[in-house]
Structure 1
Amino acid sequence: MLGQEAAKMKRETGWLGSHLIQLEVTFRQNSQIKAVNQAFHLVFPVVLVGTLADMVRQTWLASTGYYFQTLHVGDWLMQRTVLKHYLSLLSAGTLGLVAMFMAFAVSYYLVAPVTKRTTDRLMVGVVAVTGLKFFNVDRLTLLNGQPVQWLSNNLGISGILVGILIGLIVGDGYRWGIQHWLLAEERLGQTMTIASIWLLVLAAGGLAWTLTQKGSLNATFLSLARWPFPLPHQLPGLLGFNLLTGLCQWLGILGPVASVGGQSVEAAQNLASVLTHAGWQIPHPITIHTVVDVYTNFGGPGMMLGLLLAIYLGHSNGAQRRVGAACLLPTLGNYNAPLMVGLPVVLSPILGIPFLVTPVVCSLLSWTCLQLHWVPAVAYPIANGTPGILQGFLGTGGNMAALALAGVELLISVLIYYPFVKWSRLAGEAAHHAEKTSH
């Protein structure tokens, strides 16, 4: 029976689809990945609320926001400053602590299957959160003998990867201790001993890192996405930046990623040239901003707007559609964190492929059109939260060729994502069926 189902799936999805589905099912059945995915489901509402708050603050209430400028929000909204403060607090209290939530949840879900004691389940989460803090210490306060301060900026969505790693390490170690502890009758002593050992080990690891490294663990991972490519204005540098940014995002380093140095200066020179000279002759037509930021980040890095449309155009299941509906507003504003966590795209073998490939294909097309002068390069500043498909149009002063290019690239992204969304749905159903039959 299982062989017949596998043969049927292979006929429906093809060789590539069937192999990717099998890989995804095996991946999801791993206890480590299962705990990570359960943690994503737990923190998704927190990420969604925080992202919506951050989006409203930056796009509706800030003077550089798209809706603030187009709807003249400053002329009619009362108490705008108070509302900005409120949304800043809401965003910081949610998005700013996501890495801690992930460390807690991953370790909790790893220990939950081996013990029914609530104390053990909660204690491992507390230990994981504490360990994450040990690796996010303000180095100068520790070395100068001052009261220790924490690097709270590294505990948000850009620290999800570190939170996952800490949660896995602590959760696995704690679980091993529960399963192999000799004095199992003394439960309180067992809990205290295991927790104390892990706190001492993590504190020693955090101290060793702080004394030998100038940056935090999270900053070390994030620095990979700020690679100083030697050819930022040529195709290899653009594609390399795309791939590295996508890889970091897929691993869980979410949030804005800094571009190659000097981009702001070049953007200012492009704008000055357009304002002071006749025609549209700009000195830097090929930059990460004019190619990558404008044409490959619809819905955020990875062309997530294409993924969202593929979910609704394809035969997606109810769970995928509900996540897509919840993430519609932030995705239209180019905030991809809710969709990355909600599906999840992070650490998904199937969805990771189009997530990495789509921006590269769109960058190739954008670079070609700019090189052949089929579209002008963007010169005008683009307001925060401008819908991705309108960025090229508005940044070129209303050029229809730029709008057409954006439309073509959005269509290409949907076509690339479409089969992978279907395969991801089938993999999820197969994994769920396999879990039910195993019980």
Structure 2
Amino acid sequence: MDTFSNHLINFGQKVTKIKILKVIRSAFQQFMPFTIIGAIATLWTAVICNNQNGLGALWEPIMKLDFLNPAFTAVNFCTIGCISIGIALFMGIELGKENGVRTTFAGLLAVLSVFIVSPIQNIVTNDEGEVLATIKGIFENNLSSKGMFTAMIVTIVVVTIFSKLCQVEQLKIKMPEQVPPGISKSFEDLIPAGLSVVIISFVGLAVNLLTGGLYLNDLISKFIQQPLMGIGGSLPGFLVFAFLILLFWSVGIHGESMVSGILNPLMTALLLENLTMVQAGGEATNIINWVFFRIFLCTGGTGFGLALTLAIFLVGKRADNRAIAKVAIVPNLFNIVEVNIFGVPIVLNPILIIPFILAPIVCILFGYFMTFIGLCPVYYIQLPWTMPPFLFGFFASGGNFMGGLIQIIAVIISTLIYMPFVMAYEKQQNKEDELRLESEN
């Protein structure tokens, strides 16, 4: 056990030092408040003030407030609808910081580069193929979750090129000492920035010419984003991610941080795709997404920490364990698990590691099956991850009671799984206490 945990800890330390994964993780963490704001705006237009399938269909007076819907629609567009731009900005800033260049400049450079490789006009035709109009502008299809992987890749490429070019002294325009430092630095970055955007612009043009009219986002979406979403959104693929997260936590490494650089873009894209479907009047179809991950892996904290706390209250007899449970219960209600992980502890505890991994795996299978047969709604609204159980499932499913009930049932299932292991752990603790007393006497 010690040898295995040491290898896992060493591996975890190496992964956390990977620059790109750290940049992606940080960017998504910083943009999350805007995603939640956009989701709340959608909650208003799709669930509350909606007379088709929302509260407005049951209580008509609420529709007197439908004049507010355009404002909430605008909020949604400028947050979730433009998530690719936000991710590019934050990734550019973080990568610039890692590479030692001006952070805000690198972030803006990333955003401009995303615009550069995006189509700037759409041609509208009739059924016979005749051109009716040419509409200029950058469209939501390239700024929303569908363009997210393009934004990530373009940002990494452009900021990396810019950072490398900034190290070439011959490319820096030197200004006299009398020139203010801000202006002087801008001239130093002029040629590296110019070359960077020209290079990415040529790449976008080459793709367009060689593919007969396709854009970079089309290729990345088809050959990278969709296949990865297919893997991460599949039950086997998600179970692998879940197992890795739980395995890292079992040796004291923050599991979500280890895989979030890969998992967050996939889960977020799947969730936002659901949201887009609902906004268009359809139904969400991606069972596995960011909310599914939070509910069936992390309710009460990763590994269903709330279930462990409840199991201790129900079958635990030792005063020390019950004291820890009393401290853990409030954080667990807000999905914080560190008290359980390091207090009980779960870390390097051979007995409790088993239900810590088993309970979420069982609940993932349970949640997937319940959703597949239609008893649990497909989740599509992102909420703060600290939202208490039931409320999380209820609001994330657009106010569907079953969305919250299934989450509570998952907590009950997990509690039942933890109970025999808590009893076995306390027996081991009692034996250790007896041996210690004998040795002292």
Normalization by structure 2: what TM-score?
Answer: 0.54
| Residues 255 and 139 of structure 1, relative CA distance in 2, 3 Å threshold | farther
Alignment match, 1:255? 271
Distance 1:133 1:156 in 2: 13
Alignment match, 1:278? none
SS at match of 2:293: coil
Identity of aligned residues (%): 15
Whether 2:109 is the aligned partner of 1:127: answer: yes
| Residues 190 and 324 of structure 1, relative CA distance in 2, 3 Å threshold | farther
Distance 1:56 1:414 in 2: 35
Alignment match, 1:50? 38
SS at match of 2:28: helix
Distance 2:154 2:4 in 1: 37
| Residues 242 and 108 of structure 1, relative CA distance in 2, 3 Å threshold | closer
Deviations 1:140-197 (A, max 9, x none): 549x895643232231244433322222111211111112333546244431111111
Alignment match, 2:208? 210
Alignment of 1:315-334 (within 5 A): none
Alignment match, 2:19? 31
Alignment of 1:250-289 (within 5 A): 250-251=265-266, 253-257=269-273
| Residues 85 and 181 of structure 1, relative CA distance in 2, 3 Å threshold | same
Distance 1:29 1:167 in 2: 19
Distance 1:241 1:73 in 2: 42
Alignment of 1:2-401 (within 5 A): 15=4, 19-65=7-53, 72-75=58-61, 77=62, 79-112=64-97, 115=100, 120-137=102-119, 141=123, 146=134, 148-182=136-170, 184=172, 186=174, 187-211=185-209, 212=211, 213=214, 216-217=218-219, 219-220=221-222, 221-224=224-227, 239=235, 250-251=265-266, 253-257=269-273, 293=287, 300-304=291-295, 306-310=297-301, 313=306, 364-365=365-366, 377-378=373-374
| Residues 19 and 154 of structure 1, relative CA distance in 2, 3 Å threshold | farther
| Residues 110 and 403 of structure 1, relative CA distance in 2, 3 Å threshold | closer
SS at match of 2:119: coil
| Residues 46 and 183 of structure 1, relative CA distance in 2, 3 Å threshold | same
SS at match of 2:94: helix
Deviations 1:283-327 (A, max 9, x none): xxxxx97xx84xx67x73325354142257389xxxxx99995x9
Are the counterparts in 2 of residues 154 and 219 from structure 1 also a CA contact under 8 Å?
no
Instruction: Using the TM superposition, give the Cα deviation of residue 139 of structure 1 relative to its aligned residue in structure 2, in angstroms.
Output: 7.1
Are the counterparts in 1 of residues 25 and 264 from structure 2 also a CA contact under 8 Å?
no
Distance 1:124 1:58 in 2: 37
| Residues 57 and 121 of structure 1, relative CA distance in 2, 3 Å threshold | same
Alignment match, 2:436? none
Are the counterparts in 1 of residues 299 and 411 from structure 2 also a CA contact under 8 Å?
no
Deviations 1:307-359 (A, max 9, x none): 142257389xxxxx99995x99xxxxxxxxxxxxxxxxxxxxxxxxxxx9999
Distance 2:48 2:206 in 1: 44
CA root-mean-square deviation? 5.4
Are the counterparts in 1 of residues 31 and 87 from structure 2 also a CA contact under 8 Å?
yes
Distance 2:408 2:114 in 1: 43
Deviations 1:360-419 (A, max 9, x none): 85575578899xxxxx9448999987978679xxxxx99xxx999765545567999xxx
Larger Rg: 2
Distance 2:332 2:151 in 1: 23
What residue identity is the alignment partner of 2:107? G
Unaligned runs of 5+ in 2: 125-130, 175-184, 243-261, 275-282, 310-323, 325-329, 337-356, 382-389, 396-400, 418-441
Instruction: Answer with 21-30 or 128-137: which moved more.
Output: 21-30
Distance 1:226 1:410 in 2: 28
Distance 2:54 2:9 in 1: 40
Quick one: higher RCO (CA 8 Å, sep 6+), 1 or 2? 1
Are the counterparts in 2 of residues 108 and 124 from structure 1 also a CA contact under 8 Å?
yes
Instruction: Using the TM superposition, give the Cα deviation of residue 64 of structure 1 relative to its aligned residue in structure 2, in angstroms.
Output: 4.9
| Residues 101 and 83 of structure 1, relative CA distance in 2, 3 Å threshold | same
Distance 1:35 1:226 in 2: 20
What residue identity is the alignment partner of 2:116? F
Deviations 1:247-271 (A, max 9, x none): 876545343447xxxxxxxx9xxxx
